[in-house]
Amino acid sequence: MSPAVLDRAFAALADPTRRAAVDALRRGPRRAGDVARELGSTPAGLSRHLRVLRESGLVAEEALEGDARVRVLRLEREPFDALRSWVEDVEAFWGDQLASFKDHAEKTRGKRGRR
């Protein structure tokens, strides 16, 4: 995933209201009004946050089968997979750094006293 895509995802998730909306959608697809009620917001108040989530690619909106007026929001898996991969890469870097430091400390332990 490109850095720009990760930047948009992190920027979208930086807001607590948007993270709460993502948490609500983790339990399954929902209508915007249902998400707003769950968060104690109005649909109009949540609208901007949902737009940011859609534009970032984290959330998709689709018409409900049988009624094109009803829109349902759902999480998109791919951006979250990319975020997880990025975090795992960073975590692996620090794990490698700590392992190298441990090796160094074990190799040099006791050498100071032998001078």
Q: What is the pLDDT of residues 16-27, one digit of tens each?
A: 999 999 999 999
The predicted pLDDT at position 67 comes to 80
The predicted pLDDT at position 8 comes to 93
79 sits in the region (left: phi over 0; alpha: psi -120 to 50; else beta) called: alpha
Q: What is the pLDDT of residues 2-20, one digit of tens each?
A: 788 889 999 999 999 999 9
Structure tokens of 35?
């998400």
In the chain, the domains with their CATH numbers are: 3-109 (1.10.10.10)
What percent of the chain is modeled with pLDDT above 90? 58
Q: Say how far apart CA 39 and CA 19 lie, in whole Å.
A: 11
